[in-house]
């Protein structure tokens, strides 16, 4: 891995390179995605099946796009018993974590007759997208569906690509059944996002779409945002390891490569205050790569978006961490808890040498659908909050309104909104006559 001395120029160069990975910078695909989205919106099933037959299976139509219960039960017989057991263990951890995010309505009253509050209502329908291209992600199934189920969403549908033979990966089907999906549809790409956003003859319309995907999925989510809610526009995976001289270089190298293997556009960065550690991590990474199955993807990822940044101080290192705002942040320092308190921007934070990123991907419980490309500055991981909406509740008795009416009227007239002021005034006109 390249070792670069951290300074203003190198930091700017890195940030500029990372930004190139953002879905917002792939304008060459925009027209294609918009055409797909608009055709599915206007033509419904006709366009959906045309695109699905072109990109996925050659024989998907209204009678077989919905996964049947028989297909799901067959999937149970196709996976290893140990995988089923592992899915169920992970599911328990994910449920336990997300249960703590559950929100409740609240109301406050006063003696003079006011009631203010917040009503929390689950979404009626949610669509979750699970990719199925270069790899299979039953873990993403759990991370999408569990928070929606806990939130109380009435209907959860899942979209995932099928094989050319029309089959969905059995591990994905089992994970969806275990997590509580109501319906599973054999469709992927931008056409799946559009179908869930607008509805077709075969696909129900949803209120929100969550889940990661390729550049076409990301741009389609961007295109339908506003017609439906979305979690965020996800880009390629990324990891940032913040380490000092106490870190284990072999652990750090292994963790960096765990994300580099996802995609040629994935980013793996080490920020450290130790030159010796930097050199040892680079050597360890070179050694690991030779034995890993996805070595070509890893090499391209590291060549383009991987590096080791040498910082003069931990303060400078943390400042860089906050600027990058990585999807995954591992803190391998003498006191990771102290350092963590200085971090403002990260999707998920892993503390200490035993808390490696795959722990969060599969098993610990927190959601692994995270903000990427610096959006951790303003986005959060997918959570139960993504599947509820909040309504403000306001009630005033006449007595309570009378106490504040003059203030409201004055405020409205100050803004030259006389109809607003009149709306309050008419309620007391009999007293002023």
User: Which are the catalytic amino acids?
Assistant: 327-328
Task: Supply the DSSP symbol for 316.
Answer: H
Count of other CB atoms within 10 angstroms of residue 106: 11
Count of other CB atoms within 10 angstroms of residue 386: 25
Report yes or no: 264 and 344 within 8 Å, Cβ to Cβ. Answer: no
Angstrom distance (rounded) from CA 336 to CA 416: 55
Cα 116 to Cα 110, 119, 237, distances in angstroms: 9, 10, 42
Report yes or no: 371 and 327 within 8 Å, Cβ to Cβ. Answer: yes
Report yes or no: 108 and 117 within 8 Å, Cβ to Cβ. Answer: yes
Task: Supply the DSSP symbol for 183.
Answer: E
Q: Of 198, 199, 197, which is closest to residue 210 (Cα–Cα)?
A: 197
φ/ψ of residue 119, rounded to 5: -100, 120
Residue in the structure block whose two tokens are 């990372």? 18
Report yes or no: 100 and 384 within 8 Å, Cβ to Cβ. Answer: no
Q: Which H or E run contains 390?
A: strand 388-396
Report yes or no: 192 and 91 within 8 Å, Cβ to Cβ. Answer: no
Angstrom distance (rounded) from CA 46 to CA 204: 15
Count of other CB atoms within 10 angstroms of residue 313: 10
Angstrom distance (rounded) from CA 130 to CA 172: 9
């Amino acid at each position: 891995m390249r070792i670069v001395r951290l300074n203003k120029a190198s930091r700017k160069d890195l940030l500029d390179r990372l930004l190139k990975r953002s879905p917002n910078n792939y304008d060459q695909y925009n027209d294609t995605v918009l055409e797909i989205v608009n055709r599915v919106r206007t033509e419904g099933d006709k366009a959906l099946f045309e695109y699905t037959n072109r990109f996925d299976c050659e024989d998907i139509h209204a009678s077989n796009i919905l996964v049947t219960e028989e297909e799901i039960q067959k999937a149970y017989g196709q996976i290893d018993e140990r995988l089923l057991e592992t899915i169920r263990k992970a599911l328990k951890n994910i449920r336990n974590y997300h249960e703590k995010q559950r929100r409740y309505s609240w109301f406050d009253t006063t003696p003079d007759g006011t009631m203010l509050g917040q009503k929390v209502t689950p979404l009626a329908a949610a669509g979750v997208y699970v990719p199925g291209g270069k790899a299979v992600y039953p873990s993403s199934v759990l991370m999408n569906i569990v928070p929606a189920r806990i939130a109380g969403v009435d209907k959860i549908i899942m979209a995932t690509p099928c094989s050319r033979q029309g089959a969905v990966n059995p591990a994905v089907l089992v994970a969806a059944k275990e997590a509580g999906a109501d319906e599973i549809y054999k469709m992927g790409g931008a056409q799946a996002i559009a179908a869930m956003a607008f509805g077709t003859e075969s696909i129900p319309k949803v209120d929100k779409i969550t889940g990661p995907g390729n550049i076409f999925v990301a741009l389609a989510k961007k295109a339908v945002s506003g017609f439906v809610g979305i979690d965020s526009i996800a880009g390629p995976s990324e990891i940032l390891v913040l380490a000092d001289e106490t870190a284990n270089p072999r652990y750090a190298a292994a963790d960096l490569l765990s994300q580099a293997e996802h995609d040629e556009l994935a980013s793996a960065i080490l920020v450290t205050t130790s030159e010796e550690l930097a050199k040892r991590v680079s050597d360890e990474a070179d050694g690991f790569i030779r034995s890993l199955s996805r070595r070509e993807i890893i090499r391209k990822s590291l060549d383009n978006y991987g590096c080791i940044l040498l910082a003069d101080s931990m303060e400078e290192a943390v400042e860089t961490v906050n600027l990058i705002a990585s999807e995954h942040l591992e803190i391998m320092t003498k006191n990771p808890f102290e350092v963590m308190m200085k971090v403002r921007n990260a999707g998920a934070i892993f503390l200490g040498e035993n808390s490696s990123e795959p722990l969060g991907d599969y098993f610990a419980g927190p959601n692994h659908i995270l903000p990427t490309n610096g959006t951790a500055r303003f986005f959060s991981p997918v959570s139960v909050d993504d599947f509820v909406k909040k309504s403000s509740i306001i009630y005033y008795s006449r007595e309570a309104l009378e106490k504040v009416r003059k203030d409201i009227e004055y405020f409205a007239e100050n803004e030259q909104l006389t109809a607003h002021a009149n709306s309050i005034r008419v309620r007391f006109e009999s007293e002023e006559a």
